[in-house]
Structure 1
């Protein structure tokens, strides 16, 4: 076990599946104690003497505040906050209701604000505190039918810069990670649902100059660096991790 996060205490929202699980696993490998904060219990394999599950509905401000206080009480403080949990659905502006829009913003943008607000008094007490927000390449561009999702992730990128500016003098850094396509159980179900999933998979792979799709551990590796003292002079940044996908210009040829 390495020790880049030895002695650190972290909250990871949605840390029990997908990208969040990848971050949780890498943090634990690097010596951190991790509190997984989400609505449903994580897989038992993720829970051991270095991980703690705290139940919270991230659409509920009181449950968010209570979850942060529970983590601090049970683990003895807080050094790192990873705002990872989020939702996504595909609806154009025409199709979307006001309630749809509010739901996306409540989970993807308001919850990170409330979590950061609740965490701030505890982060101030630590040396080398770090907030890591999970944005998206869709905060920089958009897929069809994603106006609310893209808006929420662009908001996360802006929120990241603002936290870095306002709280840098307190020793609190804030950076964002903007993942591209990352393999997960949900992405596999999505691909399998396509009429010609074999062709779709081949074309998706061709979009990535590195020749593969992303893994949760790829995001976890970057999150470890951003949470550690190795990135002590880095704040307010958005790191795209997409295998080069957004740098590849499309051509009208196969």
Structure 2
């Protein structure tokens, strides 16, 4: 038996990038998987279900649909998120509210809707997708960093609240990943090749993190085999969080 046989997982932002990689990996390992996304995409044994994490009613409908279709819910991966650039002075209040609404309150809404089902599971797990921006000061990322710092703190608080109910909560903090969002940022840069090289050089292992590498970390934390792991912020960043290497050359 695969480790996820008989388990049901929901992945927000599951139609592309990191979310799609997580959904595919969970399905490969035996889980019944639903990708919750504003774009309803079904592929490779993953069921697409439309959900807007900024709309509580939409989220509740989506989670209810997952539970009814598959007979419950065991694993929630809170991956849906958006990016933001600039210093603390560069975004107005509306943009701050928009990003925090997706990146933080989106996780709150989805978790709140999922908790009644997770409490019935013998293998309940929540994995939140954070960022290196939660643990390292990055230039031109004030709003994004604030949102992901909140995700890391929220993950620890959730772990403390829900472990007595048998629900494990952990967080994965990726480094700069080779995702569609980063691709769009590079496309808008004056010199995309130079900007990519700078992003790669910033990470100690010298390249962008792949969505598949992040998916493996998420799936490890979601697995029943990790039953003693809770309240962890797992860096998947090529060493950026903790390593201080000499410059190459």
TM-score computed with the length of structure 2 as normaliser? 0.93
Number of equivalences: 249
Alignment-derived partner of residue 47 in structure 1? 43
Task: Tell me how far apart the structure 2 counterparts of residues 246 and 167 of structure 1 sit (CA, whole Å).
Answer: 27
1:23-61 deviations in Å (ceiling 9; x for gaps): 11111111111111111123xxx524x321111221111
Task: Tell me how far apart the structure 1 counterparts of residues 95 and 196 of structure 2 sit (CA, whole Å).
Answer: 30
For structure 1, which runs of at least 5 residues remain unmatched after alignment?
A: none
Q: Tell me by how many angstroms 1:117 deviates.
A: 0.9
The question of whether the paired residues in 1 share the 8 Å contact of 2:20 and 2:35 is answered with no
The question of whether the paired residues in 2 share the 8 Å contact of 1:15 and 1:84 is answered with yes
1:80-124 deviations in Å (ceiling 9; x for gaps): 000000011213332322211111111000110111111111001
Alignment-derived partner of residue 244 in structure 1? 239
The question of whether the paired residues in 2 share the 8 Å contact of 1:79 and 1:128 is answered with yes
Alignment-derived partner of residue 235 in structure 1? 230
1:3 corresponds to 2:11 = no
SS in 2 for 1:245: coil
For structure 2, which runs of at least 5 residues remain unmatched after alignment?
A: none
Task: Tell me how far apart the structure 1 counterparts of residues 36 and 114 of structure 2 sit (CA, whole Å).
Answer: 13
The question of whether the paired residues in 1 share the 8 Å contact of 2:18 and 2:214 is answered with yes
Task: Tell me how far apart the structure 1 counterparts of residues 29 and 241 of structure 2 sit (CA, whole Å).
Answer: 30
TM-score computed with the length of structure 1 as normaliser? 0.91
SS in 1 for 2:4: coil
- CA RMSD in angstroms comes to 1.9
The residue correspondences of 1:24-103 to structure 2 (distance < 5 A) are: 24-42=23-41, 47-48=43-44, 50-103=45-98
